[in-house]
Structure 1
Amino acid sequence: MKKLNLKLMVAVVIAAVLIGACGKKDKNECTATAGSTVASDAEEAMVIKYLDSMGITTRTELNGSGMYYVIDTAGNSKRAGLCTSVTVSYKGYYRNGNVFDQATAASPATFPEISNLIEGWRRTLPLLGEGGVIRMFIPPSLGYGASGWQNPNTGLYYILPNAVLIFEMKLIAING
């Protein structure tokens, strides 16, 4: 009887360990990708037209994607990975200057993983260190695309379809 109880106890412990291990991700295991979308010529032309109209001549194109950015402050040497949580302050607006979203330094936004953000952010946030400041000029296909971002209950758009998005962002903290 004692042998049976011992075997049963060992089996329960092994089962508990196996069940406990299921679904756990090694925090170093990250298979997310930043993306490789390339904006159409028409989308890139919209971004360039805006940059030229604002006199922004010192800019960098992101790997031939049609997205442009300006790093105003590089920040420190610490860099975020795609599966890293970050805290940022930002202002997002359209080419006409209308602000559609913002998070201030007094009330910043924390995102659990960069990999869950729009492609334009996924591809540029890892370029900054903590304290870094960037301006991003994102064509629609690296933002919210032809669908935009719509409230499913009201039908109102948070982000308009086919919109070029401009973000001014400060990377406050890399969390982890």
Structure 2
Amino acid sequence: MKIIPFLILGLLLFSTACKKKLSSEEQLKADIEIIKDYCKENNLEATETKSGLHYIIEEQGNGNHPFANDNVRVRYKGYTTDNKVFDESDSEGITFNLQNVIKGWTEGIPKFKEGGKGVLLIPSKLAYGEKGNSSIPPNTVLIFDVELLTIVE
């Protein structure tokens, strides 16, 4: 009887060790499929960039587009494809430099003009990648509802 727990533990370890880790290219393809499925399920039409970022412009805005090294003020809500919210700004938004955020934001926020609103669908390699962070598991596609409030001088 004492051997059964060891057999179960061994099987769990064996099955975990046998899971193949995806290459970064395979992970990107898997993430893009997740994004496309999410868009289809939610009746969304997104534009895809070469990097795999998908974005939707809901309101164009009437100001300027920021550059990838600008300081911006953004209001946002971040969630996963199962609609679990992991972060959200207050109504005032937050100010940051586009070089100090995940790559998906550095690339995606400049797609909007000041006053613009939309959605960024970000593959894991442009977010927290295979390491994840404290509240986001590894290789997680992230979705952000964003509003570019202003470019900060």
TM-score, length-normalised on structure 1? 0.68
Matched, 1:61 2:45: no
1:148 counterpart SS class: coil
Residue in 2 that maps onto 1:28 = none
Aligned-pair distance for 1:40?
2.1
Aligned-pair distance for 1:139?
0.8
| Structure 1 CA distance for aligned equivalents of residues 52 and 67 of structure 2 | 22
The match for 1:128 among 112, 131, 134 is: 112
The match for 1:81 among 23, 45, 67 is: 67
Aligned-pair distance for 1:173?
1.1
Aligned-pair distance for 1:65?
2.1
Counterpart of 1:81, as a letter, is F
| Structure 2 CA distance for aligned equivalents of residues 87 and 50 of structure 1 | 27
- State whether residues 53 and 108 of structure 2, in contact with CA within 8 Å, keep that contact through their aligned partners in structure 1: no
Matched, 1:110 2:98: no
CA RMSD of aligned residues (A): 1.7
- State whether residues 115 and 122 of structure 1, in contact with CA within 8 Å, keep that contact through their aligned partners in structure 2: yes
Between the two proteins, the alignment pairs up a number of residues equal to: 129
Counterpart of 1:162, as a letter, is N
| Structure 1 CA distance for aligned equivalents of residues 111 and 29 of structure 2 | 25
Counterpart of 1:109, as a letter, is I
Residue in 2 that maps onto 1:166 = 143
Q: Deviations over 1:80-138 (max 9, x none)?
A: 11221111100000111110000032x31111x10111111111111211101020111
Any unmatched runs of 5+ in structure 1? 1-36, 150-156
Structure 1 ranges of 4+ moved more than 4 A:
none
Matched, 1:143 2:127: yes
Residue in 2 that maps onto 1:47 = 35
Aligned-pair distance for 1:54?
1.2
2:58 counterpart SS class: strand
TM-score, length-normalised on structure 2? 0.78
Larger radius of gyration: 1
| Structure 2 CA distance for aligned equivalents of residues 77 and 109 of structure 1 | 18
1:40 counterpart SS class: helix
- State whether residues 102 and 128 of structure 2, in contact with CA within 8 Å, keep that contact through their aligned partners in structure 1: yes
